[in-house]
Chains A and B, each alone.
Chain A
Amino acid sequence: MAFPLPRGITASEIAFLAEMEMVTVVPRQRLEGLELLGGPVEPLVPPRRTSLPLWLALLLKRQRRANIIPPPWLHPESLSLILEVESQHQDYKNSFSPPPPLPGQPSVRDHGLEPTVRPQYTLDGNRYYAAPPFLPQNSAQTVISSRDLPALPYHWVEVGNMLLDAASDDLVDPDQIRRLLKDLREVRMAKMRSGVDVLDDAATGGGGVALTGVGAMELGEERGFLAGVVDGLRKIGASKEQARRERLAEQRANGGYDGTQDEEEEDYMEF
Chain B
Amino acid sequence: MSYYDIDSILTDAQKIPCTFELEVPGLGILEGNPGEDIKAGTRIDLPLWLGEMLSIGARLGTSRLVTLDMPDALAERVMNALKADPRTVDLRALAPHFYTLSERILEIFEEEEMVDVLSDTFKKRAAEISDQAHNPRGRWARASTFSVGSMRMNGSVMFRAAHDRAKQMRIWAGEAKRK
Q: Are A236 and B115 interface neighbours, CB within 8 A?
A: yes
B110 lies within 8 A of chain A by Cβ: yes
Which B residues are in CB contact (< 8 Å) with A243? 110, 112
Q: Mark A6-25 against chain B: 1 for CB-CB distance below 8 A, else 0.
A: 10001110010000000000
Which A residues are in CB contact (< 8 Å) with B134? 189, 193
* Contacts between chains A and B (CB distance < 8 A), count: 91
Segment of B14-22, B88-96, B168-176 engaged in the interface with chain A: B168-176
With A224-B161, A225-B130, A229-B126 already in contact, the answer to whether A239 and B115 are too (CB < 8 A) is yes
A210 to B102, CA, bound (A): 30
B158 lies within 8 A of chain A by Cβ: yes
A262 lies within 8 A of chain B by Cβ: no
Q: Are B165 and A221 interface neighbours, CB within 8 A?
A: yes
A152 lies within 8 A of chain B by Cβ: no
A237 lies within 8 A of chain B by Cβ: yes
Closest Cβ of chain B to A177, distance in Å, is: 14
Among residues of B, the one whose C-beta sits closest to the C-beta of A190 is: B131
Give the size of the chain A interface in residues (CB under 8 angstroms). 32
A199 to B173, CA, bound (A): 29
Closest Cβ of chain B to A63, distance in Å, is: 21
A223 to B161, CA, bound (A): 9
A124 lies within 8 A of chain B by Cβ: no
B72 lies within 8 A of chain A by Cβ: no
Q: Are A196 and B130 interface neighbours, CB within 8 A?
A: yes
Which B residues are in CB contact (< 8 Å) with A229? 122-123, 126, 158
Q: Are B123 and A196 interface neighbours, CB within 8 A?
A: yes
29 contacts between A and B (CB under 8 A): A6-B161, A6-B164, A6-B168, A10-B168, A11-B165, A193-B134, A197-B123, A199-B123, A220-B169, A221-B169, A222-B165, A224-B161, A224-B164, A225-B130, A225-B158, A228-B126, A232-B122, A232-B154, A233-B122, A233-B123, A235-B103, A236-B99, A236-B102, A236-B115, A237-B115, A238-B106, A238-B107, A239-B107, A240-B112
Q: Which 10 A-B pairs have the closest CB atoms?
A: A224-B161, A11-B172, A225-B162, A239-B106, A240-B115, A196-B127, A228-B158, A229-B126, A221-B165, A11-B168
Please name 4 further chain A to chain B contacts, defined as beta carbons within 8 Å, in addition to the given A220-B169, A232-B158, A236-B99, sorted by A numbering.
A189-B134, A222-B162, A229-B123, A239-B110
Q: List residues of B whose CB falls within 8 A of some A CB.
A: 99, 102-103, 106-107, 110, 112, 115, 118-119, 122-123, 126-127, 130-131, 133-134, 154, 157-158, 161-162, 164-166, 168-169, 171-174
